[in-house]
Every structure is written in C-alpha cells, then in structure tokens.
Amino acid sequence: MATWAIGDIQGCHDELARLIDKLRFDAARDTLWFCGDLVNRGGQSLAVLRLVKSLGERTVVALGNHDLSLLAIAERKREDQARVNPELREVLFAPDRDDLLGWLRGRSLLHVDRELGFALVHAGLFPRWTIEQAVEVAREIEDKLRSEAYRRLLKQLFGNKPDLWTPKLRGIDRWRAGINVFTRMRYCDVRGRIGFGDKGAPGTQRPGLYPWYEVPGQIKRDIRVVCGHWSTLGRFVGLGVHAIDTGCVWGGALTALRLDSEEPEFVSIKSDRKPVAGRDQD
C-alpha cells in the first residue's frame, strides 16, 4: 500500500501514463494525490481528465488555477467557448464534458490527512493560517463550488483584488481571495499580500516579497504541505514544504513523491517536450 503525490500535469497524458506505470500503481491498494493543474498547455487535457477520473476513489485532486479556469470558461456562451485554445475546446465539446467538469468541480482546494501527516494544496497557504483555519476557508469555497450557486462564483472567479486575505472579507471578494491563496500564491509580503507578478525562482522577486513558506513570523504548522504550481522553484523540500512541480509541460519532468515513507522518495519521468525559454509560468 503506497500513497504518491504527483506534480502539475497540465495536459501531459503520455508522461502521466508512463509515471503511473513506473510507480507500479495498484488501484486495489495504492492512492494517488494530484497537486492540481491537470489541464492546459500539454495538448492532452481531455485524456488526462478521463484517466484521473477513471481511477475513482484511489485519487485525491487539489484544484489548480488552470482547472478553475476551465470550469469558468465552461460557463461562458458556446460561441465564446469555441474561441479558446484547441486543447480546451476538445474538453469543452467532448461528449462526456458535463460528466468530466462536474467531477472536476467536486474536487478540493485543500486535502488534509493527519495519519500521513500531509496536506495537499496546489499553490500555498496564507502565512497566518493554522491548518484548521485553512481547512475552514477551503471548505467554505468548496461548498459554493458544489452548490447550485456555483455559476455566480465561477463567473466572478478571477482578479488580483483583493490580494490580501482577511477574515473581514465577505462574499465574492472573500472567496476570490481564498482561491488566490490556494491556487496562485508564490510570493507575498510579511502581511501575506500576494505578489502576483513575481513568478521566477527565489532570489528574483522584488524587495519585500518572500516565498510564501518563508514569510517572517509565519505560523508553525504541525503538518507537512505538498504542493505544485511553481515550476521555476522546481523540486524543493524544506520548512515543512514538499514542492513537486518540475515543469513537465516546459520540457522538465513529471515528479511523484511517496508520502508514506520515512524519508522523501521521488520518482520522475523525463518530459517528451522541448524545453521552453521565457515561458509564462502561471
């Protein structure tokens, strides 16, 4: 029995299939955690969604910004959906699209397993949140995504404001701020205000910004965090964080981390894609 976390796939189905084979995944006993961004840019998003969904209860998926973007696009007029890139159009106009998108909308923003001692999130956590507070915020937003009112949230999902979480926020601003933390955060200031424009490796950010897990005065949590979203950070282990977005879609690798072993155990599959310079890392 093994539990593995897998980094950002972004439509790279062939690499995912090879990685699952390399892990010798057994659906009768093993579990796969996915760090989000299942879709977009790799060319095989429909196949990825079908594969991950087919694994059923043996998977845990944290929603990423690209996954939420797909869900938001699906609420636009049909003619607007037809204007997006061919890869997402393939999902949006697939015969099983409603089944796939309904399944995706039911995934989590944050998953916590106390027995394993790990929490799964796509991007990061607000520096002042305890894990219990993070769970409370995540569940509030997840409930909205799974309710009959989900369309209102998806239509107003994106925007860089508010860029600072505060418990005083209400309604769409509160939900958007929470989503920005869970799915878009890399750097923030000492208050937790997100630096959306800073996407490079640590050391390239503007003065006053810190990697979200290095903010001075951050609350110490009694659980480790496994995450993705940050391909320029790459594989990183430290300060209670295990980051495993190794840039498969950019010509890097698709990486898995075993969560139930005493020491970190990584397994990677080299990407079949050509390295991309000057990429947009979101």
Domains in the chain, please, with CATH?
A: 3-121+128-153+226-270 (3.60.21.10)
Per-residue confidence (pLDDT) for residue 274, from 0 to 100: 82
The number of residues in the chain equals: 282
pLDDT over threshold 60, residue 45: yes
Residue among 12, 110, 97 at smallest CA distance from 60: 110
Banded pLDDT at 92 (limits 50, 70, 90): very high
What residues are paired with 269 via a beta bridge?
A: 254
Task: Give the mean pLDDT of 99-110.
Answer: 98
Place of tokens 């010509």: 251
Region of poorest pLDDT, from 37-41, 112-116, 126-130, 156-160? 156-160
- What is the pLDDT, as a whole number, of residue 273? 87
- State mean pLDDT over 103-114: 98
pLDDT confidence of residue 282 = 72
pLDDT tens digits for 175-218?
Answer: 999 999 999 999 999 999 999 999 999 999 999 999 999 999 99
With a CB cutoff of 8 Å and minimum separation 6, the contacts of 236 are 242, 243
pLDDT above 60: residue 225: yes
Helix, strand, coil proportions of the chain in percent (round to 5)?
35, 15, 50
Helix H segments across the chain?
Answer: 13-22, 45-54, 65-73, 78-81, 86-92, 97-105, 131-145, 150-155, 171-184
Look at residues 281, 74, 108 and name the one whose alpha carbon lies nearest to residue 178. 108
Amino acid at 229: H
- Residue 60, pLDDT score: 98
User: Which pLDDT score is estimated for 185?
Assistant: 98
pLDDT at site 221: 94
CA distances from 178 to 123, 129, 206, 219, 253 (A): 11, 11, 23, 17, 29
pLDDT value for 281: 61
The one-character DSSP state at 206 is P
Confidence of residue 280 (pLDDT cuts 50, 70, 90): low
Residue 105 tokens, joined: 């909308």
Distance CA(114)–CA(89), nearest Å, equals 39
Task: Work out whether the CA dihedral 92, 97, 102, 105 comes out positive or negative.
Answer: negative
Average pLDDT for 126-141: 98
Res. 276: pLDDT tops 90 = no
Let me know: does 177 contact 158? Beta carbons within 8 Å: no
Q: Which pLDDT score is estimated for 203?
A: 97
Mean pLDDT computed over 56-81? 97
DSSP-derived letter for residue 57 is G
Q: What's the pLDDT at 277?
A: 57
What is the DSSP pairing of strand 253-258 with strand 3-6? antiparallel
Report in angstroms the alpha-carbon separations of 40 from 26, 29, 207. Answer: 27, 30, 32
Residue 163 has pLDDT above 60, yes or no: yes
pLDDT more than 70, % of the chain: 98
State which amino acid sits at residue 130: T
Number of helical (H) and strand (E) elements in the chain, helices listed first: 9, 12
Distances 267 to 4, 235, 270 between C-alpha atoms, Å:
9, 11, 10
Can you state the angle between helices 171-184 and 131-145, rounded to 10 degrees? 120
| Backbone phi and psi for residue 89, each to the nearest 5 degrees, phi listed first | -60, -35
Six-digit token pair at 20? 């699952």
Residues 6+ apart with CB under 8 A from 206: 195, 198
At residue 84 the predicted structure's pLDDT band, cuts being 50, 70 and 90, is very high
Mean pLDDT across the chain, nearest whole number?
96
Residue 57 backbone class (left: φ over 0; alpha: ψ -120 to 50; beta: rest):
alpha
